[in-house]
Structure 1
């Protein structure tokens, strides 16, 4: 393991997979409707967390061993019900290369043109960015190893879902799969929140940062987005100190926020504009 901080990442991933299996494999009528709704919402948050851990892992693999890193990829794929390397393809080969241009970035906030803010802007962005990624992903010239790993992960996820459907079709179809899809959409929406209406050409003001201590503990420092774009290969555990030392005085104050959830609820979910 390269950094002991990633023990936290592995614990989070292990607990989330165990939680998902526990819920799906529990006997019928174990949970009330109210409990299932709560567990549904919890799984959305846990899938978002696993997606952000996957993001960190793509930039800086948890292990020095390629074999062990592939095992982490497989575990994340099962949790997300989606190949972990799909994020690598789009995020590494498109977003990080073109985020400042806007036009070439398939997840640019500039895709949302009809609505200036609010829930409708969120929906417009999710629709258009999903369409852009679906249309353009096949054009990426991916390394052979990455293509091979994607294929293996697709097969693994398919077999896993078939097995869960056999054991508990209702919970798989109406609890696990929808909550995982929503969690992945929240990951995509986080990209809008991180860059929306920022100055993409600026050296330091191209991203919004969320500095809540608890959220950064829970989401493994993914709130430090300016630091991430400036130092994408830096391990996530080093971002808080780097932000404090190098960026706090350089980033526009209005781009340093507290809670990602509160900001997102206020600007992208509860507002109807």
Structure 2
């Protein structure tokens, strides 16, 4: 006797359980598990330099996972709300900062204005349209200076309109600051070395990535093609190909992500190759992240030819 698939079938237990949206999100979970295990092992046994370097790398991954989870929640299914909230809190603990900030700063601001003159953290806002080592190093501080007032205004509005969501955000602050307080009380030297400094390292890269991906790109709104086929140039972002993408969840494929912000990060490889790479100025498609940084930030200190050149005309740099 065969089953008639046209008739409603009883729900199985597996269908009721939350599940990962994509099988490649196991990589995200692996990074989230490895970082605290490395910190705990070194807290107990002492500093091991190669493990410490792995931890510093994992803090970069945590920032990207946070970014991806904000755009497309990691868990799906009829009961995925609580696993997704638990992931928010876990990322808050691992990153050393509340995860809610990505919504007003990144989705509501950066993705909305795409490095344009209304993007409050646009790279050419601070000291002109630069792309050099000093600009890269100080950009996280400059961005934090203008973003935190945005967070405060956003939280004030949230408190009035959605008090439950406001308490959820405040819970993230309590968890973050409480975790630091407990670890510092246990052993402030170990807390700084094994937890807080790596977290600050990850947060620096999280904010500095904006400079890597947009400095000297064209922040002007691209003109719409006459035939409106969607084939216009998209020069507001820089893309990095190479090993940074399998290691850090395709974070280098920035144009495809901006144009398809709700696509799962695993889909960006195909989108970049098939849909967007040819619509980006060739100087904005880099072969690799580290070679780019070595050439522009280090080589640019001594050789003018190694420096990048802005795609924006001087009158547009505000």
TM-score normalised by the shorter chain: which range applies?
Answer: 0.7 to 0.9
CA contact (8 A) 2:130 2:215 kept: no
| Whole-angstrom distance in 2 between the partners of 1:106 and 1:269 | 28
Say which of 104, 120, 127 aligns to 2:141: 127
What's the CA shift for 1:162?
A: 2.3
Q: Deviations over 1:165-217 (max 9, x none)?
A: 233321112442122112201111111111111122235211111111x2211
Say which of 138, 150, 154 aligns to 2:169: 150
| Whole-angstrom distance in 2 between the partners of 1:126 and 1:159 | 24
Q: Which has the greater radius of gyration?
A: 2
Q: Which stretch of the first structure deviates more once superposed, 144-153 or 255-264?
A: 144-153
| Whole-angstrom distance in 1 between the partners of 2:69 and 2:235 | 25
1:260 aligns with 2:289: yes
| Whole-angstrom distance in 2 between the partners of 1:69 and 1:162 | 25
**Superposition map of 1:65-214 within 5 A:** 65-102=80-117, 104-113=118-127, 116-140=130-154, 141-142=157-158, 144=162, 146-200=165-219, 201-202=221-222, 203-212=233-242, 214=243
| Whole-angstrom distance in 2 between the partners of 1:42 and 1:111 | 34
| Higher relative contact order, chain-length normalized (CA < 8 Å, sep 6+) | 1
1:53 maps to 65
Could you say what the CA RMSD is over the residues aligned between the two structures, in angstroms? 2.2
Q: How many residues align?
A: 264
What's the CA shift for 1:41?
A: 4.1
What's the CA shift for 1:258?
A: 1.9
| Whole-angstrom distance in 2 between the partners of 1:190 and 1:113 | 18
CA contact (8 A) 1:112 1:124 kept: no
CA contact (8 A) 1:106 1:132 kept: yes
Say which of 246, 252, 257 aligns to 1:217: 246
| Whole-angstrom distance in 2 between the partners of 1:114 and 1:252 | 21
CA gap 1:251/1:146 in 2 versus in 1, 3 angstroms: farther
5+ unaligned residues in a row in structure 1: which ranges? none
1:44 aligns with 2:59: no
5+ unaligned residues in a row in structure 2: which ranges? 1-19, 223-232, 303-318
CA gap 1:92/1:177 in 2 versus in 1, 3 angstroms: same
What's the CA shift for 1:89?
A: 2.7
Q: State the secondary structure of the residue aligned to 1:205.
A: coil
Q: Which stretch of the first structure deviates more once superposed, 2-11 or 262-271?
A: 262-271
> TM-score by structure 1 length?
0.88
CA contact (8 A) 1:118 1:270 kept: no
